[in-house]
Amino acid sequence: MKKKILLGFILFSTLFGLILTTMNSEENKILAPFNPNRNLFIESAATSLTVSVQVDEFQVNVYNSSDQTMPSICALSENTFAVVWESSGQDSDDTKGIYARVFNATTGINTTAEIQINYEENDIQKIPSICALSEDRVAIAWESNTQDGNFYGVFARVLNTTSGEFSTASDIQVNNYTTYNQWEASICALSEDTFAVAWMSQNQDEEGYGIYSRVFNATTGVNTTAEFQINFNETNNQWHPSICALSEDILAVAWESEEQDGNGWGVFARVFNITSGEFSTASDIQVNYNTTNDQRYPSICALSEDRFAVVWQSNETDGDIDGYGIHARVFDATTGSNTTAEIQVNYNTTNDQDTPSICALSEDTFGVAWESDEQDGEYYGIFARIFNATTGENITAEFQVNKQTNQAQTCPAICGLSENSFAVAWQDGWEDVVPGKDIFAGVFMINEAPLVNIPSPSDDATATTINPTLQVEVSDADGHDITVYFYDNSTGTPIYLGMDTVSSGGPGNASFQWNGRAYGTEYRWFVNASDGIVNTTSSIWSFTTKAAPENPLLLLLLTPSEQQIPGYHLFLILMSIGAGALILSGKKIRTY
């Protein structure tokens, strides 16, 4: 009877030991990567920011006969934006007219139908500029041929995007001086009820074109200032103004000026106080540092009440010697002094990069979009990049905006929706190619990659247990859930170990129990943390396990086999078999 009981004990012990061994062997089994994303190692860049598509590109215009061109864009809120453009053959005059539409920035779905902006349809209305006065009101300016009685003049209108009604029954004439041409209008909102327009005027300053501006009440359409000249230097021509509001009574204007910097065209700016009628500087502020060849087509944005940024295209300067490239600079609005060096915006320098547009995302970040020749593989494409306004350093890589690459994508316009999202509009297609050019837009999100800190065991740790818990602290500034993948890199080839998660951006700890390491051995490991949009790959850390114990019995008990079977399981099995063999052989086991 005793032999049967003992035999049962032996069988039970053996089976129990095998079960434990099997369980532990499975627990320590080295798993092959089972999800391609977990092997997609994206090394951390110099910056932790990346850009992803929030709303894929979509067509803005409904009417698509002939050409729809020259888009301008503005943000109404974090979730809505408006686009305006010129459309050929759509109004009753069958020439060019001005049209607009509002979109949900989260879905890309239009919230209004196409709206005709210009009241006067006779002849040509073109090159619109738009700004947001509030979440449901926009002001739009454009140039119109013969409407002021003498060639081109500048006109404007204010639209309530909710009601679809205009603040005035007809177009507001912006320019008072009507001799020759006034065109290339740029508009900005000073408050919910005031806006300012800048334009170029022919022969008004007695030598070529000059830059002029005027402020209007958005409700009545009545001007609140007289027409005032912006440029101090009047020699030769001053063209292509761009305007932004620094506060309710301060505006900044940038433009290009012929031969003023001593070599071709250069970019200049000035800051004007509407209340006092004074400029912050006695003369024009030279924006471009490099003066070789031409610097043209500026775009300006306000970063705060006392800082603004300007971007422009520059011909064969700095590191871009293959045609035009994009440059930018940040200025103190009070002193007119630059606060950054001249920044080369485009990374790709092959062929031309031109026609830039700039927007502020916060007081310390701005985005730039431009067109680039043959960079997307098919003629012109739209590219963009985000910058730190204090350091002048890019905080994202250069990225392609347009998805469709057939024909040409040109004339981008960018607006900031929030600190981490923006929208871009552009024109797509060739002239005289049926069905013609159309307006497209897309919405993009800036995402901050997860941060990985405080590895445990710490890097180069010694005397580590052979059953270490790998742990890191992770966080995500955007509040996304974080998945952390652990990898063994001891051989130099990453082997997936396991994963853990941290919810809602943390900060929190992610861990993996890495049992059964060998004594006195160096191990290397790292993690890849993903917020579902971008991955951060950590540094490779190392630790060395503690030395093997000198007691042979303890070594047997504690040391795993080459197959990672822990010693105490093997010891239990051997003891059970040995004891059973002695009893079954009829020998007594002496006890003390």
Same domain, yes or no: 76 and 219: yes
The domain of 483 spans 33-44+449-551
In a domain, residue 165? The reply is: yes
Q: Which long-range contacts (CB under 8 A, 24 or more apart) does 37-45 make?
A: 37/530, 38/485, 38/496, 38/499, 38/528, 39/494, 39/496, 40/535, 41/494, 41/528, 41/535, 41/537, 42/534, 42/535, 42/536, 42/537, 43/537, 44/449, 44/536, 44/537, 45/397
Same domain, yes or no: 319 and 371: no
Weakest mean pLDDT among 15-24, 101-110, 152-161, 381-390: 15-24
- Cβ partners under 8 Å of residue 306, min gap 6: 246, 332, 333, 334
Answer with the one of 410, 433, 448 that is the final residue of a domain. Answer: 448
For the entire predicted model, the pTM comes to 0.80
Closest CA to 514 of 534, 498, 537: 498
Round to whole Å and give the CA distance between 536 and 483. Answer: 11
In a domain, residue 224? The reply is: yes
DSSP label at 444?
E
In a domain, residue 457? The reply is: yes
In a domain, residue 51? The reply is: no
**Angle subtended by helix axes 567-584 and 2-27, to nearest 10:** 160
pLDDT, tens digit, 9 for 90 and up, residues 348-398: 999 999 999 999 999 999 999 999 999 988 899 999 999 999 999 999 999
Same domain, yes or no: 429 and 491: no
Same domain, yes or no: 303 and 159: no
| Both tokens assigned to 174 | 């912006």
In a domain, residue 55? The reply is: no
In a domain, residue 558? The reply is: no
| Both tokens assigned to 504 | 């809602």
Give the domain CATH number at 529: 2.60.40.10
The CA-CA-CA angle for residues 359, 198, 183, to 5°, reads 110
In a domain, residue 294? The reply is: yes
pLDDT, tens digit, 9 for 90 and up, residues 190-209: 999 999 999 999 999 988 99
Same domain, yes or no: 280 and 307: yes
Answer with the one of 171, 203, 229 that is the final residue of a domain. Answer: 229
In a domain, residue 206? The reply is: no
Answer with the one of 343, 376, 409 that is the final residue of a domain. Answer: 343
Same domain, yes or no: 84 and 219: yes
Same domain, yes or no: 441 and 513: no
Quickly list DSSP for 129-191. Answer: EEEEEETTEEEEEEEEESTTSSSEEEEEEEEETTT--BSSSSPEE--S--SS-EEEEEEEESS
Quickly list DSSP for 497-523. Answer: EEEEEESTT--EEEEEE---PPTT-EE
| 289 burial via Cβ count (<10 Å: 0-12, 13-18, 19+) | middle
Same domain, yes or no: 524 and 589: no
pLDDT, tens digit, 9 for 90 and up, residues 393-442: 999 999 999 999 988 999 999 999 999 999 999 999 875 555 689 999 99
Round to whole Å and give the CA distance between 212 and 491. Answer: 69
Strands 541-545 and 461-464 turn out to be parallel
Same domain, yes or no: 423 and 490: no
Q: What is the count of structural domains for the chain?
A: 5
Same domain, yes or no: 88 and 220: yes
Same domain, yes or no: 328 and 464: no
Same domain, yes or no: 373 and 459: no
